[in-house]
Amino acid sequence: MARRRQRRGAAAARAADRDAPARVAAPAGRSRRCAPAGALRLDRPGDAGRHADLRDGRDPERLRPRAAGPGRSAAAPGRLHPDALGPEDRRRARARRPVDGGHGVNPDVRELAAEYARALQGYLAGHGEAALQQAYEVGRQTLAKGLGVLDMATVQHWGLLRALAKSRTPQERSRALRAGQKLCVESLLPFEMAHRRVQEVNTALRDSEHRYRNLVDTARDVIYTLSSDGRLKTLNPVFETITGWSRTEWLGKAFAPLVYPDDLPRAAAMVQAVLAGQAPPMFELRILSRSGSYIPGEFMVTPQIHEGQIVGVLGVARDITDRQRADEALRHLNEALEEEIKRIAHALHDEAGQLLASVHIVLADIARELPTSSSQRLEEVRSLLNKIEEQLRHLSHELRPTILDDLGLQPALEFLADGVSKRTGLRISVAGTPGSRLPPATETALYRIVQEALTNVTRHAQAAHVAIAFSRNGHALCCSIQDDGAGFDVPTTRARRGQRGLGLMGIQERLNAVGGTLNIVSEPGRGTELLITVPVEATSADSHSARR
């Protein structure tokens, strides 16, 4: 009994000592009064003693173990003295606690914490929705400043500590904690919304990647990427269909062995141009197949960019074997057509000319036997026959001028321009020179193109003058056909009527047969210009001898 009364007395003394104000050590040897452990206060640097520890919500005195007695352990769970904590426990506690006084703290966090504390005080003061909106705004600002959820937790922690510091009773502290829970949820809403938006963006990116992958895998053209050192990084499945190679046989290997040796310099130049940031025009290469043959392909390349840097080449290759076969068939068809035109022109020029000459002889004999009055009528008939003969001569020359075979393209075009000018009154000038003799197929194609262009001008352009000009550009011959007619809007007219409606189908087909290109420049009221480019050999003077 005595021992029990002794223990009760000691406990009462400790309780009185705990509830009484205590004087603790302070910096510079001063002392200050500390509130009882039941009253919450904010710590300041240098404070020590028996007062409330707001970092873990417990009084250090209460962590001190009770005296061991019968049936008691020396250290009950949850009541360890701080000195009993290990270095790792203290490091974690320091990492969790907020830094006070601005030592190494982001000033944005302090500012937001003050704003959050004002919102919490406003909510406790009965401002309700306005305080919740203010807490939401704190969360939005935290997100906008690039701070994370842990920074938001620090803001909430400091704000709640400030509210608890102003609470005097357990009821006020409980009310502050409940209010803190509501504001905590409200301030985290911007993070939740941002997280949902990120999820939506990630889902959209996955869907986009899936669509892109399906597009690449099902494309009829070979889609590939090259590294900066010319190694194949990716290939879509159609590569296997076209070449017969397995993709695994070439991925990670150099692209060069696939290219026909004569085409390799062109391929290397195009890759270097792309890596330098350029976008070269389409070009053709021949690619090795598994069977050992080479497949003609049309290539288009562009830089592959990652984080603003060119890291490789993205390319698309199309098998043009069928197109080349069609072009070859068209070339043979045009050659056969030219032969037929040549035969018709020969018949008109020679055979019809001989018949007309015979008619003239017969008429001359008849004129000698008839009286003078009748001879005058025969002269009128002879004049009409002369006109017919002239028309047949012009027609035969336009169908297939022998001057084209004998003298070349420029004299033939000057003859053509003179004939069209006489018939239509259109002024036509021919400037420049194609240079040395061109291959027969090229000269014939250019002659027919100019001929058809002049026909289009006389029918549709309402022009007064046409200028035909030739120039050489390396291994290409450029021809410009420009009129001063009505002009037209090229995209609109092409979309509505197509190439055939523009009267350019024949021109395009002839250019395809010789590997040429056509560009149309026109505006309403500003005339039209056809820009034609045809590849030619560096020296083609010997092509004339091939005609004979």
pLDDT tens per residue, the chain (548 residues)?
A: 555 555 555 554 454 444 444 444 444 444 444 444 444 333 433 343 333 333 344 443 443 444 444 444 444 444 444 454 556 655 554 444 444 444 456 788 888 888 888 888 888 888 888 888 888 888 888 888 888 888 888 888 888 888 888 888 888 888 888 888 888 888 888 888 888 888 888 888 888 888 877 777 778 899 999 999 999 999 999 999 999 999 999 999 999 999 999 999 999 999 999 999 888 888 999 999 999 999 999 999 999 998 889 999 999 999 999 988 888 887 788 788 878 877 887 777 677 777 777 887 887 777 777 777 777 777 788 888 888 877 777 777 667 777 787 888 888 888 888 888 888 888 999 998 887 888 888 888 898 899 888 888 888 878 889 999 999 887 889 999 999 988 888 777 766 655 555 567 778 888 887 888 889 898 888 889 999 999 886 444 444 444 44
Q: Is residue 97 part of a domain?
A: no
Q: Is residue 510 part of a domain?
A: yes
CA–CA distance, 358 with 353 (Å, rounded to integer): 9
CA–CA distance, 320 with 297 (Å, rounded to integer): 5
CA–CA distance, 379 with 475 (Å, rounded to integer): 56
Query: Domain check: are 71 and 148 in the same one?
Result: no
Supply the pLDDT for residue 9.
55
CA–CA distance, 323 with 510 (Å, rounded to integer): 14
Query: Domain check: are 276 and 353 in the same one?
Result: no
Supply the pLDDT for residue 4.
57
Q: Is residue 282 part of a domain?
A: yes
Domain count, the chain: 5
3-state DSSP call for residue 119? Answer: helix
Query: Domain check: are 443 and 473 in the same one?
Result: yes
Supply the pLDDT for residue 3.
57
Query: Domain check: are 373 and 393 in the same one?
Result: yes
Query: Domain check: are 429 and 544 in the same one?
Result: yes
DSSP-assigned beta bridge partners for residue 531: 480, 519
Query: Domain check: are 468 and 546 in the same one?
Result: yes
- Residue type for 5, please? R
Q: Residue 449 CB: number of other CB atoms within 10 A?
A: 24
CA–CA distance, 43 with 48 (Å, rounded to integer): 9
CA–CA distance, 214 with 412 (Å, rounded to integer): 55
Q: Is residue 539 part of a domain?
A: yes
Supply the pLDDT for residue 88.
61
Query: Domain check: are 353 and 478 in the same one?
Result: no
Last residue within a domain, chosen from 284, 319, 354: 319
Q: Is residue 93 part of a domain?
A: no
pTM of full prediction above 0.75: no
Question: Is the torsion defined by CA of 544, 545, 547, 548 positive or negative?
Answer: positive
Query: Domain check: are 515 and 485 in the same one?
Result: yes
Q: Is residue 87 part of a domain?
A: no
Assigned token pair, 274: 């792309």
Query: Domain check: are 417 and 539 in the same one?
Result: yes
Query: Domain check: are 310 and 226 in the same one?
Result: yes
Q: Is residue 492 part of a domain?
A: yes
Supply the pLDDT for residue 178.
86
Last residue within a domain, chosen from 370, 400, 430: 400
CATH number for the domain that contains residue 255: 3.30.450.20
Start-end of H helices in 347-408: 352-369, 372-399, 402-406
CATH number for the domain that contains residue 523: 3.30.565.10
CA–CA distance, 474 with 476 (Å, rounded to integer): 6
CB 89 within 8 A of CB 100: no
Supply the pLDDT for residue 57.
42
Q: Which class for 503: exposed (0-12), middle (13-18), buried (19 or more C-beta within 10 A)?
A: middle
CB 288 within 8 A of CB 258: yes
- Report the candidate in 484, 537, 530 with the shortest Cα–Cα distance to residue 508: 530
How many CA atoms lie less than 13 Å away from 111 in the CB half-sphere?
8
Query: Domain check: are 243 and 186 in the same one?
Result: no
CA–CA distance, 152 with 269 (Å, rounded to integer): 55
- Report the candidate in 382, 228, 254, 384 with the shortest Cα–Cα distance to residue 312: 228
- Report the candidate in 448, 432, 452 with the shortest Cα–Cα distance to residue 440: 448
CA–CA distance, 463 with 453 (Å, rounded to integer): 12
Supply the pLDDT for residue 258.
94
Supply the pLDDT for residue 292.
93
Query: Domain check: are 142 and 176 in the same one?
Result: yes
Last residue within a domain, chosen from 209, 232, 260: 209
Domain extent, residue 190, equals 107-209
Q: Is residue 129 part of a domain?
A: yes
